């Protein structure tokens, strides 16, 4: 497993600049985010339940309060009254679509949309339980650093961070060389990780 400290140590070796500790730590954090944001990977998916009180046809979920490292919505689904049996999926729409009514002036039902820091939900039923699936940002806090890419594909992060450091100190030729390595590593990452099941 590649820890934050191990990644930083490797970048110091690659750049031969152990004196740039703070800059290298920032570069590793930025490289980690960049690697995770190259696609929507199944390993970044997170699922959790929601219990509403009081129940209503319309709900508003401040998603970062429930999921601090929230990145993007994948799905929202109803659960039955026991909270165990899955029901229908909500259709994800845009805020503009939420305002449009059909020819009979009826509002849309079983839809959800993002509005700022809230997920607005319109249901055809008063639901007690739902389940939300979303993509998470990696934890790039030094003390609690957690990235599956750092474990499975550490060179994506190390080469990207190295390229950033070389660019910062004016070594453009070395930065360009590592950028080519980064492109190859990101291609390997996507090929290996976009699908949850290998063939």
Q: Which residue has the tokens 């031969």?
A: 16
pLDDT number for residue 196: 67
Nearest CA among 28, 31, 61 for reference residue 182 = 31
**pLDDT tens digits for range 14-28:** 999 999 999 999 999
d(CA 28, CA 163): 11
What are the extents of the domains in the chain? Answer: 4-40+140-193, 43-136
Distance in Å from the first CA to the final CA of the chain: 25
**pLDDT tens digits for range 103-134:** 555 678 999 999 999 999 999 999 999 999 99
Could you tell me if residue 145 is left (phi over 0), alpha (psi between -120 and 50 degrees) or otherwise beta? beta
CA 177, 180, 181, 182: dihedral to nearest 10 degrees? Answer: 120
Nearest CA among 90, 7, 26 for reference residue 98 = 90
Nearest CA among 138, 110, 134 for reference residue 122 = 110
**pLDDT tens digits for range 70-111:** 999 999 999 998 888 999 999 999 988 876 665 555 678 999
Number of other residues whose CB lies within 10 A of the CB of residue 11:
27
- DSSP, collapsed to helix, strand or coil, labels residue 155 as helix
pLDDT number for residue 47: 96
Could you tell me if residue 16 is left (phi over 0), alpha (psi between -120 and 50 degrees) or otherwise beta? left
């Amino acid at each position: 497993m590649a820890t934050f400290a191990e990644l930083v140590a490797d970048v110091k070796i690659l750049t031969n600049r152990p004196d740039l500790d703070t800059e290298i730590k920032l570069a590793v954090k930025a490289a980690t985010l960049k690697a995770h944001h190259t696609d929507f990977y199944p390993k970044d998916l997170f699922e959790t339940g929601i219990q509403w009180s009081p129940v209503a046809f319309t709900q508003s979920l401040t998603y970062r309060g429930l999921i601090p490292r929230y990145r993007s919505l994948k799905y929202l689904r109803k659960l039955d009254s026991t909270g165990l049996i899955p029901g229908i999926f909500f259709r994800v729409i845009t805020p503009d679509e939420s305002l449009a009514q059909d020819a009979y002036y009826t509002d849309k039902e079983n839809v959800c949309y993002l509005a700022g820091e809230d997920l607005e939900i319109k249901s055809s039923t008063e639901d007690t339980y739902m389940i939300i699936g979303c993509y998470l940002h990696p934890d790039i806090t030094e003390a609690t650093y957690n990235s599956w890419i750092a474990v499975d594909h550490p060179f994506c992060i190390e080469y990207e961070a190295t390229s950033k450091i070389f660019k910062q100190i004016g070594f453009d030729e070395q930065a360009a060389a590592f950028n080519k390595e980064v492109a190859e590593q990101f291609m390997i990452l996507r090929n290996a990780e976009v699908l949850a099941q290998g063939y």
